[in-house]
C-alpha cells in the first residue's frame, strides 16, 4: 500500500511563492543583466495607458501613467477620473519628478505635489530584467512584466485565471 501525505496539497503553492521570492531577490541583486534595447529612450517622457480619458478610465476610476527613472526605478501614477481629463502632459511629468525627489527607496505616495487639484497615488519600485522584459512589483500576486514595443509598452499583470495585458503609449517629455 502506498503512503500519502495530507501535507502535500499545500506544497505547490509554497514552492511557487518561494520561487517568486527567489526571482525577486535575483532581479534586485543582479543588476549586471542588461536588456537588448536602449534604456535611454524609455526614460524620456512617460507612458499613458490606452483608454485614459475614455471608458477604461471611467470604469477603473483613474488615468494610469508609467515613468522609468535613472538607476532602475519605475513609477506608476493613478490620477482620479474624471479630474484626470484636465491634467496635461507637462503636469504629469512634473508630478513624477516631484514624487521621485521625495523618496530614496520603494514607496507608495499620495498627494497633490503643489501641482494637482486632486491627490494622485504614485507607487515607486525598483525594476529588474528577465530576458527581454522588465520586471517589477506592481501590487499584484506576482511581479508585473513589461514588454517594450516601438513607441509603446505592454504591462502584463498576473491574474488568477489568465494574464491581463494593458497597452501604454509613449508620451514624449516636455
10 pLDDT above the threshold of 70:
no
51 pLDDT above the threshold of 70:
yes
29 pLDDT above the threshold of 50:
no
CA 27, 30, 31, 34 torsion-angle sign: negative
pLDDT at 99: 96
pLDDT at 163: 87
Please state, rounded to an integer, the average pLDDT across all residues of the chain: 82
Portion of the chain with pLDDT greater than 90, in percent: 56
Residue carrying C-alpha cell 478610465:
57
Answer for the pair 107, 121: CB distance below 8 angstroms, yes or no: no
Q: What is the pLDDT of residues 109-151, one digit of tens each?
A: 999 999 999 999 999 999 999 888 899 988 767 889 999 888 8
What CA–CA distance (Å, rounded) separates 135 from 113?
Answer: 27
Please provide the DSSP assignment of 101-130 as one string: HH-SS-EEEEE-TTT-SS-EEEEEEEEEEE
Fold topology of 8-171: Lipocalin (2.40.128)
Q: What is the pLDDT of residues 73-112, one digit of tens each?
A: 999 999 999 999 999 999 999 999 999 999 999 999 999 9
Q: How confident is residue 160, by pLDDT bands cut at 50, 70 and 90?
A: confident
Q: Is 131 helix (H, G, I), strand (E, B) or coil?
A: coil
Domain positions in the chain:
8-171
Amino acid at each position: 500500500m502506498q503512503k500519502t501525505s495530507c501535507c502535500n496539497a499545500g506544497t505547490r503553492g509554497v514552492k511557487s511563492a518561494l520561487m517568486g521570492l527567489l526571482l525577486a531577490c535575483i532581479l534586485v541583486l543582479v543588476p549586471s543583466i542588461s536588456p537588448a534595447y536602449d534604456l535611454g529612450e524609455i526614460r524620456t517622457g512617460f507612458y499613458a495607458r490606452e483608454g485614459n480619458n475614455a471608458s477604461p478610465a471611467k470604469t477603473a476610476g483613474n488615468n494610469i501613467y508609467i515613468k522609468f527613472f535613472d538607476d532602475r526605478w519605475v513609477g506608476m501614477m493613478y490620477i482620479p477620473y474624471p479630474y484626470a481629463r484636465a491634467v496635461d502632459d507637462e503636469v504629469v511629468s512634473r508630478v513624477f519628478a516631484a514624487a521621485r525627489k521625495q523618496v530614496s527607496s520603494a514607496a507608495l505616495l499620495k498627494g497633490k505635489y503643489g501641482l494637482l487639484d486632486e491627490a494622485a497615488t504614485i507607487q515607486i519600485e525598483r525594476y529588474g530584467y528577465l530576458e527581454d522584459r522588465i520586471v517589477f512589483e506592481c501590487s499584484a500576486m506576482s511581479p508585473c512584466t513589461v514588454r517594450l514595443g516601438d513607441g509603446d509598452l505592454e504591462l502584463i499583470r498576473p491574474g488568477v485565471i489568465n494574464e491581463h495585458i494593458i497597452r501604454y503609449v509613449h508620451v514624449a517629455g516636455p
